Amino acid sequence: MSGTVITYGTFDMFHIGHLNLLRRLAALGDRLIVAVSTDEFNHGKGKRTLIPFEQRAEIVRSIRYVDEVIPETRWEQKLDDVQQYGIKTFAIGEDWAGQFDFLLPYCEVVYLPRTEGVSTTDLKRSLNRFSSVSRDDLLHAFDVLDALRKDFG
C-alpha cells in the first residue's frame, strides 16, 4: 500500500503491543503519523496516565516505524487531521471497531487486532496488585525464595 497512515493513542507504559501495532501500521503505507493523546485530553476522558505527554510523545517519536508525532487534543480533530495531512488510511485497534466509520468517505478505515496477553490496562492492574503488597510480605517472599534456592540450588 502507499500513502499516509494515521493512528491515535495514549501510549502510556509503552509495551510490546504498542510496538507490534506501530510496526503493522507502518506496513500499511509509506508514512505513519501517530497522534498521542495529551494529558489534558486524557483527563477529559477520565483517563490517568503514569507517563507525562511530552515523554510519551518522545518515546513514540523515537520508534523507527513512526514518521511524525502530533498531539491529540480533542475527539473532533480526527476528520481535520485526515484532511490536513492527506491521510489515505486511518487505523486503530479493533477494540474501537465501528467507532470511526464516519471517516470512510475520506479515507480507508482499518481496525487491527491487539497483541494477545498484553495491554496497558492489564499492566496497570498488575502494578496496583503488586504495589498493594506490604513491604514485610515482599521481604518474607524473598526470604522464602532465597531458602528454596539454597535448598534446591
Domains plus CATH for the chain? 4-117 (3.40.50.620), 119-153 (no CATH)
CA atoms of 48 and 10, how far apart (whole Å): 10
Model pTM score = 0.76
What does the pLDDT look like over 6-40, one tens digit per residue?
999 999 878 788 899 999 999 999 999 999 999 99
CB 10 within 8 Å of CB 35: no
CA atoms of 82 and 89, how far apart (whole Å): 9
- The question of whether 78 is a catalytic residue gets the answer no
106-130: average pLDDT = 68
CA atoms of 18 and 35, how far apart (whole Å): 13
> Mapping DSSP to helix (H, G, I), strand (E, B) and coil, where does residue 18 land?
helix
- The question of whether 45 is a catalytic residue gets the answer yes
Q: Which of 45, 78, 88, 150 is catalytic?
A: 45
What does the pLDDT look like over 29-69, one tens digit per residue?
999 999 999 999 999 999 888 889 999 999 999 999 999 99
